[in-house]
């Protein structure tokens, strides 16, 4: 997609994928392979959204661990918070929390179209719908549906 890549949406728990993307895009810009890095948008479930709730403070807000269909990002005390905040802030992206119902709906719709993913990955789809970005946004789908085959 080259310079047409403007937005990337990813589920965020500890922040590993988000931080890795920020580092990779920074390297591409520094090497001249990209003119600018895309905006990075971090998505969490409403059931556990310490990074979203603490974004204005620059540190995770305390949360009470609750059940969530997006169990892969249900991390109440993310250890890479500072770097995650920096990745989103410097890219011009946003933090967003989405309800579990929206995640499940996105997950089941994706499955009905032949895209089998773990429910956590569907948080990116639910987040993209709320962000309402122009065409060309990339959604990060990290987990195989085989992890959750018993839930289909």
pLDDT at 84 over 80: yes
Contact 80, 16 (CB under 8 A): yes
52 burial (CB, 10 Å; 0-12 / 13-18 / 19+) is buried
Start-to-end CA span in the chain (Å) = 33
Across the chain, mean pLDDT equals 93
pTM of the predicted model as reported, rounded to 2 decimal places = 0.94
| CATH number of 138's domain | 3.40.50.1100
DSSP H or E stretch at residue 131 = helix 122-131
> What pLDDT sits at residue 149?
64
Number of H helices, E strands in the chain: 5, 4
Domain extent for 14: 2-151
The span from the CA of 51 to the CA of 57, in Å, is: 10
The span from the CA of 145 to the CA of 152, in Å, is: 9
pLDDT tens digits, 99-117: 999 999 999 999 999 999 9
CB count, 10 Å around CB of 116? 18
Number of domains into which the chain is organized: 1
Residue with tokens 């500072």: 82
> What pLDDT sits at residue 143?
79
Residue with tokens 């890795």: 20
C-alpha atoms less than 13 angstroms from C-alpha of 26 in its C-beta half-sphere? 11
pLDDT tens digits, 27-39: 999 999 999 999 9
């Amino acid at each position: 997609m080259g310079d047409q890549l403007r937005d990337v949406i990813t589920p965020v728990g500890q922040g590993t994928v988000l931080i890795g993307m920020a580092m990779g895009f920074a390297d591409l810009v520094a090497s001249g392979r990209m003119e600018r890095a895309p905006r990075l948008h971090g998505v969490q479930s409403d059931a556990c959204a310490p990074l979203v709730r603490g974004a204005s403070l620059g540190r995770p807000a305390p949360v009470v661990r609750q059940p969530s269909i997006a169990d892969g990002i249900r991390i109440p005390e993310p250890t890479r918070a500072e770097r995650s905040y920096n990745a989103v802030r410097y890219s011009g992206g946003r933090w967003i929390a989405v309800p579990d119902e929206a995640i499940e709906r996105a997950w089941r719709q994706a499955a009905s179209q032949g895209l089998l993913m773990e429910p956590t990955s569907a948080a990116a789809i639910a987040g993209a719908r709320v962000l309402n970005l122009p065409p060309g946004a990339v959604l990060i789908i990290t987990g195989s549906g085989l992890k959750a085959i018993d839930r289909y």
